[in-house]
């Protein structure tokens, strides 16, 4: 008999995972305690931007294999395998706030009606699964056996559907052969297609996820630290990164110097790892991550400072800035800890008029930054701007017409804070084109 699956928490991760499980052939019930989210998903609508997901999700909702609701009791009755995909946002001091996980278990476990496997997918501090095991044992009804596994998720927003169906690795933190068996059933298709499987214990599975994110953050901050040096030494960080990347021990990916990382994962996971390691008495082992975080935040400060200088210094900053980008990265409308939005907000706080254009993230960006003005087109955002900032590297920004935009803006300076625009057409159109750690020859 085919296992039945519930997915608890249907945000970016859970909605994608639920649709992916339906695509793999399972009957799936997604549960979210936000009724508006559950209602939208039930109607086949994805309440965030993720390429390919609306089609996949709507298809399986219409086909009846995928349902959404708000009842954990219904999930307890329905599924053999329950995936926990709730949020683990930053709490005080950067430590992860695990209250959503505990609330989900408290709502689910007492209502279980048969033996089952609960699988954590959320990113958690090492040691969480062990604590949850105790909670589950205390809450489980008499005679019901509940197993817990950890199966961290590595999907990339913007490529979430592909990554869910073709995971580049599967990590199963398990304590019983039954749990491994059930996870192998769930992932039969990707395993048959070649996704490697790492079987390990619970703490290793938890740590694999946070250390992967800490490594990615380190790579980005490393190249940004080199960009700082390049700026001073008259060197070019884009060529430096290209040359480094040709060494396949280093590789080209995540070596794009620019405004640094953001989003709902990397910044919070780095800080949560520092907090947890410190709690465990191993703070020294991850001390370097404080520098990784500091380098990352300096990128934003640098762009804010340069912009204010261009506008005549902090005290006289009354100019207009046109901002291209609000999402934390392209192909996403996620604005959680977005470097672009952070820069825009800091400038606004310094008295600058800021108008932002983003191809997908206007609605969520306006919700968290109502003090900014949002425009419907790039040209409208640049209208009478004294300085233009390119802050999220959407592909369409590479196709903008610098000649036309010169007639729209008041000033003529653009800072390409992502180092992804071709300077040549901007320079030819008379722009003062600036980049971060990159040499631009006029
Ligand atoms: P999110 O905030 O978008 O989604 C969490 C969802 O859980 C929300 O819809 C919320 O309403 C729901 N929820 C909260 N408490 C609940 C409860 N008690 N019962 C039912 N639903 C509940 O977060 P996300 O980005 O999807 O991330 C979820 C987890 O996955 C985090 O730990 C994150 O670090 C991890 N993760 C995220 C990604 C990503 O790209 N977004 C990738 C890998 C791992």
Q: Residue 59 in 3-state DSSP?
A: helix
Known binding residues for substrate are 154-157, 209, 254-258, 262, 329
Q: Whose CA is nearest to atom 23 of ligand 1?
A: 87
In the structure encoding, which two tokens stand for residue 165, read together?
A: 């169906």
Residue whose CA is closest, atom 27 of ligand 1? 87
Atom of ligand 1 nearest to the CA of 37: 9
100 lines ligand 1 (CB under 6 A): yes
Non-local (6+) Cβ contacts of 36 within 8 A are: 47
- Give yes or no for residue 76 having a pLDDT over 90: yes
- Of 8, 14, 35, 159, the residue with max ligand 1 atoms within 8 A of its CB, to mutate for a pocket test, comes to 14
Going by CA atoms, what residue is nearest to atom 1 of ligand 1? 11
- Cβ–Cβ < 8 Å for 321, 389: yes
Torsion on CA atoms 103, 105, 106, 110, rounded to nearest 10: 160
pLDDT at 442: 77
Distance, CA of 165 to CA of 43 (rounded, Å): 23
Question: Which pLDDT score is estimated for 103?
Answer: 98
In the chain, helix, strand, coil percent, each to 5? 50, 15, 40
**pLDDT tens across 392-436, in order?**
999 999 999 999 999 999 999 999 999 999 999 999 999 999 999
pLDDT in tens, 226-252: 999 999 999 999 999 999 999 999 999
Annotated binding site: 32, 37, 88, 123, 154-157, 209, 254-258, 262, 268, 329, 336
- Ligand 1 center–CA 199 separation, angstroms: 24
Q: Is the CB of 6 under 6 A from ligand 1?
A: no
| Binding-site residues from annotation for NAD(+) | 32, 37, 88, 123, 157, 268, 336
Q: How far is the CA of 264 from the centre of ligand 1 (A)?
A: 10
Give the residue numbers annotated as catalytic, written as ranges.
Answer: 265
Q: What are phi and psi of 324, to 5 degrees?
A: -100, 105
Pocket of ligand 1 contains residue 86 by CB under 6 Å: yes
Report how far ligand 1's centroid is from the alpha carbon of 119 (Å). 14
109 close to ligand 1 (CB < 6 Angstrom) = no
Token representation of residue 177: 């052969």
- What is the tens place of the pLDDT at every residue in 338-361? 999 999 999 999 999 999 999 999
Residues 6+ apart with CB under 8 A from 442: 427, 433
Share of the chain above pLDDT 90, in %: 97
The pLDDT of residue 441? 82
Q: Is the CB of 84 under 6 A from ligand 1?
A: no
Query: Measured over all CA atoms, what is the biggest interatomic distance in the chain, rounded to whole angstroms?
Result: 76
Confidence of residue 314 (pLDDT cuts 50, 70, 90): low
120 C-alpha to center of ligand 1: Å?
11
Say how far apart CA 238 and CA 222 lie, in whole Å.
13
Answer yes or no: are the C-beta atoms of 396 and 379 closer than 8 Å: no
Domains detected in the chain: 4-200 (3.40.50.720), 201-442 (3.40.50.720)
Residues 6 or more apart in contact with residue 225 via CB below 8 angstroms: 295
Burial class (CB in 10 A: 0-12, 13-18, 19+), 159: middle
Instruction: Indicate if ligand 1 lies below 6 Å from the C-beta of 157.
Output: yes
Instruction: Find the 195 Cα to ligand 1 centroid distance in Å.
Output: 24
User: Mean pLDDT of all residues in the chain?
Assistant: 97
Q: Is the pLDDT of residue 165 over 80?
A: yes
Tens of pLDDT, residue by residue over 271-288, are: 999 999 999 999 999 999
Angle, helix 128-139 to helix 99-108, in steps of 10 degrees:
30
Q: What's the gap in Å between 100 CA and the centre of ligand 1?
A: 9
Cβ–Cβ under 8 Å, residues 29 and 10: no
Residue nearest to atom 38 of ligand 1 (CA): 13
Pocket probe for ligand 1: among 7, 8, 10, 12, the residue whose CB has the most ligand atoms within 8 Å is 12
Beta strands 197-200 and 373-374, pairing class:
unpaired
CA distance 100 to 113: 22
| pLDDT confidence bin for 92, thresholds 50/70/90 | confident
Which DSSP letter does residue 370 get? T
Cα(10) to centroid of ligand 1, in Å? 7
Nearest to 79 by CA among 36, 116, 39: 116
DSSP β-bridge partners for residue 322: 355, 388
Task: Find out whether the beta carbon of 48 lies less than 6 Å from any atom of ligand 1.
Answer: no
pLDDT at 171: 98
Say if ligand 1 is within 6 A of residue 8 CB. Answer: yes
With a 6 A CB cut-off, is 16 part of the ligand 1 pocket?
A: no
Say yes or no to pLDDT of 108 above 80.
yes
pLDDT one-digit tens code per residue, 44-55: 999 999 999 999
**Terminal CA-to-CA distance of the chain, rounded, Å?**
68
Cα–Cα dist 411/225, whole Å: 30
Q: How many Å apart are CA 117 and CA 192, to the nearest integer?
A: 22
If pLDDT is split at 50, 70 and 90, which confidence band does 315 have?
low
Q: Whose CA is nearest to atom 44 of ligand 1?
A: 153
Reported for 399-403, long-range contacts at CB under 8 A and 24+ positions apart, including other chains, are 400/324, 402/426, 402/428, 402/429, 402/431, 403/429
- The CA distance from 115 to 145, in Å, is 5
Q: Is the CB of 78 under 6 A from ligand 1?
A: no
Q: What is the pLDDT of residue 1?
A: 74
């Amino acid at each position: 008999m085919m296992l039945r699956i519930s997915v608890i928490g249907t945000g970016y991760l859970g909605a994608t995972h639920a649709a992916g499980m339906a695509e793999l052939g399972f009957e799936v019930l997604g549960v979210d305690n936000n009724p508006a989210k559950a209602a939208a998903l039930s109607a086949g609508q994805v309440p965030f931007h993720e390429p390919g997901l609306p089609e996949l999700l709507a298809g399986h909702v219409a086909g009846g294999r995928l349902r959404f609701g708000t009842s954990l009791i219904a999930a307890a009755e329905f599924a053999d395998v329950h995936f926990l995909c709730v949020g683990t946002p930053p709490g005080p001091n950067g430590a992860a706030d695990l209250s959503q996980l505990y609330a989900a278990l408290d709502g689910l476990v007492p209502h279980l009606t048969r033996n089952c496997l609960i699988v954590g997918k959320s990113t958690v501090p090492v040691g969480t699964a062990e604590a949850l095991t105790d909670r589950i044992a205390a809450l489980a009804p008499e005679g019901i056996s509940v197993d817990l596994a950890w199966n961290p998720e590595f999907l990339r927003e913007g490529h979430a559907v592909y990554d869910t169906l073709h995971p580049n690795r599967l990590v199963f933190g398990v304590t019983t052969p039954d749990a491994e068996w059930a996870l192998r059933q769930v992932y039969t298709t990707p395993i048959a297609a070649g996704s490697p499987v790492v079987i390990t214990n619970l703490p290793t599975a938890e740590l694999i996820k946070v250390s992967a994110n800490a490594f990615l953050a380190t790579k980005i901050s490393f190249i940004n630290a080199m960009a700082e040096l390049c700026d001073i030494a008259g060197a070019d960080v884009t060529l430096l990164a290209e040359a480094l990347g040709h060494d396949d021990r280093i590789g080209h990916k995540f070596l794009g110097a620019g405004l640094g990382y953001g989003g709902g994962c990397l910044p919070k996971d780095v800080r949560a790892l520092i907090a947890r390691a410190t709690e465990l008495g191993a703070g020294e082992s991850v001390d370097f991550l404080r520098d990784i975080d500091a380098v990352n935040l300096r990128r934003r400060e640098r762009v804010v400072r340069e912009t204010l200088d261009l506008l005549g210094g902090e005290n006289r900053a009354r100019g207009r800035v046109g901002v291209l980008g609000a999402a934390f990265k392209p192909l996403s409308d996620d604005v959680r800890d977005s470097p672009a939005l952070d820069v825009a907000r800091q400038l606004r706080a310094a008295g600058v008029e800021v108008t932002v254009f983003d191809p997908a993230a206007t609605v969520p960006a306006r919700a968290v930054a109502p003090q900014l003005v949002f425009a419907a087109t790039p040209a409208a955002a640049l209208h009478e701007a004294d300085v233009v900032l390119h802050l999220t590297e959407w592909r369409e920004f590479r196709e903008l017409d610098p000649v036309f935009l010169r007639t729209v803006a008041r000033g003529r300076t653009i800072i390409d804070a992502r180092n992804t625009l071709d300077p040549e057409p901007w320079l030819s159109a008379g722009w003062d084109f600036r980049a971060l750690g990159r040499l631009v020859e006029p």
